[in-house]
Amino acid sequence: MSKKEYIVRSTLADQVLNQLKRKIINQELKPGSRLIISRIAEELGTSLTPVREAMTRLIEEGLVEMVPHKGAYVAKPTRKEFEDLFAVRQALESLAVRLAAPKLSVTDFEKLDEIVEFGEKNLSTGDLESWLRSDEKLHDFIIRKSSNEVLIQIFSSIWDRIHTFRLLTARFPDRKTKSSVNEVNRIKRASLEHRNIVSALKERDVFSAEKLVMEHIENTLLFGIEEG
The alpha carbon dihedral of 185, 186, 187, 192 has a sign of positive
DSSP 33-62: -EE-HHHHHHHHT--HHHHHHHHHHHHHTT
Print pLDDT tens along the chain (228 aa). 444 444 345 688 889 998 998 888 777 888 889 999 999 999 999 999 999 999 998 988 888 999 998 999 998 878 888 889 999 999 999 999 999 999 999 999 999 999 999 999 988 888 877 888 899 999 999 999 999 999 999 998 888 788 777 666 554 444 334 445 666 788 889 899 999 999 999 999 999 999 999 999 998 888 766 554
pLDDT digits (tens, 9 = 90+) for 99-126: 999 999 999 999 999 999 999 998 888 8
pLDDT digits (tens, 9 = 90+) for 40-50: 999 999 999 99
| Dist. CA 104–CA 226, nearest whole Å | 36
Q: Which amino acid is at 51?
A: V
**28 close to 167: Cβ distance less than 8 angstroms:** no
| Dist. CA 200–CA 203, nearest whole Å | 5
The alpha carbon dihedral of 44, 49, 54, 55 has a sign of positive
Q: Which residues, at least 6 apart from 128, have a Cβ–Cβ distance to it below 8 Å?
A: 122, 170, 172, 173, 183, 184, 187
| Dist. CA 165–CA 136, nearest whole Å | 13
Domains in the chain, CATH or no CATH each: 3-74 (1.10.10.10), 79-227 (1.20.120.530)
DSSP H helices in the chain:
3-25, 37-44, 48-60, 79-100, 106-124, 128-145, 149-169, 178-202, 206-227
